[in-house]
Amino acid sequence: MSDSYDDGAAWVRRFHPSDGAPRRLFCFPHAGGSASFFFPTSRSLAPGTDVLAVQYPGRQDRRNEPNIPDMAQMADRAAAALLPWTDLPYALFGHSMGATLAYEVARRLQSAGRPARALYVSGRRAPHRVLDDGLHQLSDAEMVADISALDGTGSQVFGDAELMDMILPAIRSDYQAAETYCYEPGSALDCPIHALTGFSDPRVPVRELHHWSEHTKDSFDLRVFSGGHFYLVEHHESVLECIAEGLRAI
């Protein structure tokens, strides 16, 4: 792997390479998340689907690279890294901030003549409905409290001050990218959009997910699960089946 920050390989993790698969799924983590969040997804869908998890700069093996607090720049670089992998039919899945990023990458790949077959968006407002809650301006202590309330990182992390010092910059940068994101109107996607969410998500009311239908020329559907912002951890198998069902059709 090159030391260059623009090395496309740095953005892609294939935990279970499936070279004979007829399709691919690109996965985009939540704010502060990493590619390893989708290791179970990759393991479950292989070898029928080649899963590529996106690794953002500033975390895990990319921790020495600068974070990118700008959604458009992240989308430009992620799309460039994934473009060579669009030789097979593909879909995208993103959770929380990752949903917005997946959408923006899908727009860029469609403009490049490589449209997606499906977009799965989870736990996130539609692009034109994104709010700036000012979370990226919280103090470290307030940010830790906010993350803990969402229960998305794991309780053991909060007791490790050194680990928190390592991951907070990435979380703050991702929050800034997500909250300062500015939707630019353009052509709707040509593929279906499948929205998923937790009924008790404190971040995103269920009614907000319906607005994603405005961003596709194709079909739209919504699946609601019990649970909060990280409902997909509790309902891992059901979420996977929902995704797998759609993937079989591409």
Q: Which pLDDT score is estimated for 148?
A: 73
The tens digit of pLDDT for each residue in 111-170 reads 999 999 999 999 999 999 997 676 667 677 777 777 777 765 444 455 555 667 778 899
Catalytic: which of 42, 44, 96, 122? 96
The C-alpha atoms of residue 101 and residue 97 are separated, in whole angstroms, by 6
The tens digit of pLDDT for each residue in 77-94 reads 999 999 999 999 999 999
CB contact set of 7 (below 8 Å; sequence gap of 6+): 1
User: What is the residue-wise DSSP string for 12-37?
Assistant: EE-SS--TT-S-EEEEE--TT--GGG
Active-site annotation holds for 18: no
Prediction pTM value: 0.91
Q: For the chain, what is the mean pLDDT?
A: 90
The tens digit of pLDDT for each residue in 37-93 reads 999 999 999 999 999 999 999 999 999 999 999 999 999 999 999 999 999 999 999
What value does the mean pLDDT take over residues 22-31? 97
Q: Comparing C-alpha atoms, which of 240, 239, 229 is closest to residue 43?
A: 240
Q: Which pLDDT score is estimated for 152?
A: 52
Amino acid, res. 193:
I
Q: Is the pLDDT of residue 3 over 80?
A: no
Specify whether the CB–CB gap between 41 and 14 falls below 8 A.
no
Q: Is the pLDDT of residue 2 over 50?
A: no
